[in-house]
Amino acid sequence: MKTALITGGARGIGAATARALSEDGYAVAIGYRQSEASAAALAGELRAAGGVAGVYLLDVASTASVTAAVERVTAEFGHIDLLVNNAGISLSGLLTDLSDADWDRLINTDLSGVFRCCRAVLPGMIRRQSGCIINISSIWGMAGAACEVAYSAAKAGVIGLSRALAKEVGPSGIRVNCIAPGVIDTEMNAHLSPADLAALAEETPLGRIGRPEEVAAAVLFLAGAGGEFLAGQVISPNGGLVI
């Protein structure tokens, strides 16, 4: 059975990805940091539908937590075929108001978290000479966003990491790619007012913001037969907002 580990899998894009992968026949390991109850409910839902799912405490900001989670998933699932580095936080504000602590927290989660999880799963994938890693970046990692400099920098870093790692581990049969979503309807954007969301939708050529399921569909594509010759690429489901 194909197995997938999704960081931040309890809600938002991560939960939609867990559902899509489970429907596609993957055994799904749902990583969570705070949302334990949502993770457990989601795993129950997937099992009730005939899937295989487990929940794992996995704080991407902590090497010890990542190591322990990957060891547990590997012990229980046998191996990890697919890692989806989805966990992330965002932060708005002027660069001149950004504290060292906030900068460090964001980079440590959104960029170093991807590094830690890749480092933890790769030895198993290299042993098997097979694997797929999908890193969730953002359009702001491609285009940059005012008042989201730390987030944009981290997400641009994720793209750079993915491209370099794709070259490093491609010869071992491992594909590394990125998804850079546009504005997606999740709690990450809950701080935006209806007027702000309407303005973003209007700015988007397709006239709306995206759904988590539309990012999950890109994960399925990259992980599946359609993505077999893709390595080091960035796919951006964004409705045309950034071209």
Active site residues: 151
* Kind plus residue range of the DSSP H or E element containing 104: helix 100-110
For ligand NDP, how many residues bind (rule: CB under 6 A)? Answer: 30
Give the contacts of 230 (CB within 8 A, at least 6 positions apart): 175, 177, 222
Residue for token digits 């409705």? 239
52: Cβ–Cβ under 8 A, 6 or more apart, which residues? 1, 22, 27, 28, 46
Q: Is there binding between residue 120 and ligand NDP (CB under 6 A)? A: no
CB-wise, 132 or 241, nearer to ligand NDP?
241
Euclidean distance between the first and the last CA atom of the chain, given in angstroms as a whole number = 37
Selected binder of ligand NDP within 119, 189, 200, 234 (CB under 6 A): 189
CB of 89 to ligand NDP, least distance (A): 5
- Residues of this chain, 162-181, that bind ligand NDP according to CB under 6 A: 181
Q: What's the order of all strands across the beta sheet hosting 174-179?
A: 53-57, 27-32, 3-6, 82-85, 131-136, 174-179, 234-235
Query: Is-contact 234 242, C-beta < 8 A?
Result: no
Q: Is 115 in the site for ligand NDP (CB under 6 A)?
A: no
List C-alpha distances in Å: 243 to 79, 137, 154, 211. 37, 15, 20, 19
Using CB under 6 A as the binding rule, whether residue 34 contacts ligand NDP is answered as yes
Backbone torsions φ then ψ of 4, nearest 5 degrees: -135, 140
By CB under 6 A, is residue 28 in contact with ligand NDP?
no
Which listed residue (27, 46, 61, 156) binds ligand NDP by CB under 6 A? 61
Among 3, 86, 152, 177, binds ligand NDP (CB under 6 A): 86
Which is nearer to ligand NDP, 126 or 221 (by Cβ)? 221
- Give the nearer residue to ligand NDP in terms of CB position, either 98 or 107: 107
Q: Is 184 in the site for ligand NDP (CB under 6 A)?
A: yes
Q: Does 142 bind ligand NDP (CB under 6 A)?
A: no
Return residues touching ligand NDP (CB under 6 A): 7-8, 10-14, 32-35, 58-61, 86-90, 109, 136, 138, 181, 183-184, 186-189
